[in-house]
Structure 1
Amino acid sequence: MAWLLGAGVVALVLANVLLGSYTVSPADLVAILGGETVPGASFIVLEDRLPGAVVGALAGAAYGLSGSLFQTLLRNPLASPDVIGIGYGAATAAVVGMLVFGLQGLPLALASFAGALAVALAVYALADSGRHTGGRLILTGIGFAAMLQAVISYLLTRTDVRTAGDALHWLVGSLSSSNWERAALLGGAVALLLPFAALAGSRLRILELGDDAAAGLGLDVGRTRLGLVVLGVALTAVATAVTGPIAFVAFLAGPLARMLSGGRTHLACSALTGAVLVLGADFLAGNAFGDTQLPVGVVTGALGAPFLLWLLVRSNKNGTGG
């Protein structure tokens, strides 16, 4: 299944690069990637569409991986970073950094990470060090999300209209400002975190056996949980700093990947599913509404909200919602 999802990512990257208001032929794309200059097409491909597709794929993979980590670690499909307030922690810190301190690039990513980590640790502590993985943790996270949303709204009312407009566009989640500098920042961060994610897969499978069984197998449960939380926070924070908080990707990717993997947790499939979701939503946002181009977060939000309601209904019927 991972190979099929990988092929889907490649196909969507090509669709986003080739198709749109200006169609680029495959021959022109090959020529451009080979170093030739094709009038008109070279700028569109190299400075607009290709950086956006690369950032979209990387951000989707980071969100998908982070969501799957949290959902598996906390044994609750609702426990994704964007539902339990961690995404809002990253967004709030980033908005403060942008509006108050004028941060960009790596400093903004670090501020986003600090905000997300602070919220994650607070939620984790108030949920009794992660032992309450049901309603208490979800409600604590929702409470933090509401509080942080109010902080963001206050900050937006205290700044000038133009700056507030730019911040609002970022808060929706968009790939329109993607460039190679941002792609390099996100790619470097994801490459740095991937080895830790690979190690996390085996530890997650042990934790799924239960805390007592994991401890019996020699795993330091508390330290492992904390390390996985920090890893998930880092993935969410760096993606949020570059693209803004793209709604529901982290929430959707894990359950969809689990369905495609026959009910098993598969972090690689979760990452690829997240990339497919962002790239597919970006293609729809740019091509499905005529001359109107929507931010990618609008489309993912429209897809994710019904899925959240369905999952809540199913969880209530099954008694698994916490």
Structure 2
Amino acid sequence: MVLRAERRSVLAAVVVAVLLAVAFVVAVGTGTYQISPPDVLRVLAGHGPPAHEFIVLTLRLPRVLTAVLTGAALALAGAVFQSLTRNPMGSPDVIGFTTGASTGALLQIIVLGGGTAAIAGGALAGGLLTSLAVYLLAFRNGVQGYRLILVGIAVNGGLVALNVYLIARAEFADAHVAVTWMTGNLNGRTWGQVHLLAATLAVLVPVTLLAGRRLALLELGDELAAALGVPVERTRLTLMVLAVGLTAMATVAAGPVPFVALAAPQLAIRLARPSGPVLVTSALMGSLLLVCADLAAQRLLAPVQLPVGVMTGSLGGAYLAWLLISEWRR
């Protein structure tokens, strides 16, 4: 039975990876000037004409790679939080960590100023401080998942109000930048932003996957996990910090993109039907969702391009309603 579940999980990851590869090539080739998938592959292999190389390598590839990396980071963070809380609502969107990262980034944009690295530092600090506040407020002889979610929702509400206040008090130019960023946007992404995101995820993702091996034991319950030798609170706190780091870097790259961290892990679970957490499949699913959402945002009302956060938020509202109804019927 366990072997069959593992085989299905591997098959699910392969299927999602293939779909992601197809969506990636289509997204790179789609735009005002269409490039066929074979031509995209030729450019990526270094054999395309100069005009195609400029369009693909300079204009489109940074955007699509940002979508891939951001989606993977958000989905992996969502999978960790949902496993820790043992609740499909346990997403960084819902429990305030994405909003906390946004607050740190907004303070850097509006109050302190600074470039991409400074904004990344602000988002990471905001996310970590928010997670620490939620953890301490929810701690009572350990941290229960439902309490973490309830406290996170309350903190999230306060931070949303603070973010609105910061934007309302900002200078027009700063407010315009902040509002555009807050919608969740992949427009104008550059190789510099891709390199920063890729470098941080190259550290965070492997460490999270290694630490995530204990998630399956934590899902058995704190007492049983402790009996099996797992340092429960230290492991939980470590995983929370790693997931907050993933959320913060994704927020810096594309703004607070909703829905992906909430939905991707649940879709991966329904596809793989695993015996434990499905971190790799969740990350691939997050990349697939965000690439497809960005493609739809660009082409749905062409030539008008919607921010990707508008598209994911629209889908997320319907998904959240379905999730709540499904939980209520159990």
Displacement of 1:266 after TM fit? Answer: 0.6
- Does the 8 A contact of 2:26 with 2:37 survive in 1? no
Displacement of 1:36 after TM fit? Answer: 5.9
TM-score w.r.t. length of structure 2: 0.92
1:97-176 equivalence runs, <5 A: 97-128=108-139, 131-134=143-146, 136-176=147-187
Displacement of 1:163 after TM fit? Answer: 2.3
Evaluate the alpha carbon distance shift between residue 223 and residue 284 of structure 1 in structure 2; reply closer, same or farther with a 3 A threshold: same
Which residue number corresponds to residue 266 of structure 1? 278
User: CA deviation digits over 1:270-295, x for unaligned, max 9?
Assistant: 10010011001001001122211111
Distance 1:37 1:316 in 2: 54
Distance 1:32 1:98 in 2: 36
Q: Percent identity?
A: 42
How many residues matched?
317
* More divergent stretch after superposition (197-206 vs 271-280): 197-206
Which residue number corresponds to residue 177 of structure 1? 188
- Does the 8 A contact of 2:212 with 2:239 survive in 1? no
* More divergent stretch after superposition (289-298 vs 257-266): 257-266
The alignment yields a C-alpha RMSD, in angstroms, of: 1.6
Displacement of 1:29 after TM fit? Answer: 2.9
Which residue number corresponds to residue 58 of structure 1? 69
1:233 aligns with 2:238: no
1:306 aligns with 2:330: no
Distance 2:286 2:129 in 1: 24
Which residue number corresponds to residue 204 of structure 1? 215
Which residue number corresponds to residue 8 of structure 1? 19
Structure 1, unaligned runs of 5 or more = none
* More divergent stretch after superposition (35-44 vs 122-131): 35-44
1:30-109 equivalence runs, <5 A: 30-35=41-46, 38=49, 40-109=51-120
Distance 1:163 1:125 in 2: 33
Which residue number corresponds to residue 279 of structure 1? 291
1:179-198 equivalence runs, <5 A: 179-198=190-209
Which residue number corresponds to residue 268 of structure 2? 257
TM-score w.r.t. length of structure 1: 0.94
> What amino acid does structure 2 have at the position aligned with 1:97?
Q
> Alignment partner of 1:120: what SS?
helix
Displacement of 1:177 after TM fit? Answer: 2.5
> What amino acid does structure 2 have at the position aligned with 1:61?
A
Displacement of 1:268 after TM fit? Answer: 0.2
- Does the 8 A contact of 2:109 with 2:174 survive in 1? no
Distance 1:177 1:234 in 2: 23
User: CA deviation digits over 1:21-43, x for unaligned, max 9?
Assistant: 21013454345335467354333
Evaluate the alpha carbon distance shift between residue 27 and residue 131 of structure 1 in structure 2; reply closer, same or farther with a 3 A threshold: closer
* More divergent stretch after superposition (203-212 vs 55-64): 203-212
1:211-222 equivalence runs, <5 A: 211-222=222-233
Which residue number corresponds to residue 20 of structure 1? 31
> What amino acid does structure 1 have at the position aligned with 2:130?
V
* More divergent stretch after superposition (307-316 vs 222-231): 307-316
- From 250, 254, 264, give the equivalent of 1:243: 254
User: CA deviation digits over 1:70-108, x for unaligned, max 9?
Assistant: 000111111100100000000010011111122222222
Distance 2:323 2:236 in 1: 25
> What amino acid does structure 2 have at the position aligned with 1:270?
S
* More divergent stretch after superposition (230-239 vs 207-216): 207-216
* More divergent stretch after superposition (224-233 vs 257-266): 257-266
